């Protein structure tokens, strides 16, 4: 993962956290949707900027990528941001196997 992708993921986390603080009753599915939309929007915004030729994803500069490539990159950035918001979930995944029992489970 490049430094630019990390910055975009950080942007997704910051904007989504801001929206969650403004609307505290926001359901979790809406938070995930916001993260995806912000990720896609950030990639399309960066792709139209002056330094888009320096932002390379998969060997292709963003200013040369087609809309589908930008969409896929944006979704991946949004998923990364959503995963960053789900730290308790990540901790739960990290603990898989610690409470394992020996033998078949009925």
Two tokens at 65? 């990528």
DSSP string, the chain: --HHHHHHHHHHHHHHHHHHHHSTT--HHHHHHHHHHHHHHHHHHHHTSTTGGG-EETTEETTT--HHHHHHHHHHHHHHHHHHH-HHHHHHHHTTTTTPPSS---
**pLDDT one-digit tens code per residue, 17-71:** 888 889 888 888 888 888 889 989 988 988 898 888 888 877 888 889 999 999 9
- Give me the residues paired with residue 57 across strands: 60
Assigned token pair, 63:
């200013």
Confidence (pLDDT) at 13? 82
Q: Contact, 65 vs 73, CB < 8 A?
A: yes
CA dist 90 and 93 (Å) reads 5
Nearest to 80 by CA among 36, 43, 18: 36
58-94 pLDDT per residue, tens: 788 888 999 999 998 888 888 887 777 665 555 544 5
């Amino acid at each position: 993962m490049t430094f630019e992708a990390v910055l975009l993921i950080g942007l997704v986390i910051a904007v989504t956290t801001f929206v969650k603080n403004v609307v505290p009753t926001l359901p979790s599915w809406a938070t995930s949707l916001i993260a995806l939309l912000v990720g896609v929007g950030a990639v399309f915004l960066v792709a139209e900027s002056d330094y888009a030729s320096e932002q390379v994803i998969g060997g292709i500069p963003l200013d040369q990528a087609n809309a589908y490539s930008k969409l896929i990159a944006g979704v991946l950035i949004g998923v990364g941001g959503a995963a960053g918001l789900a730290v308790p979930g990540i901790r739960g995944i990290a603990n898989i196997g610690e409470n394992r029992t020996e033998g078949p489970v009925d």
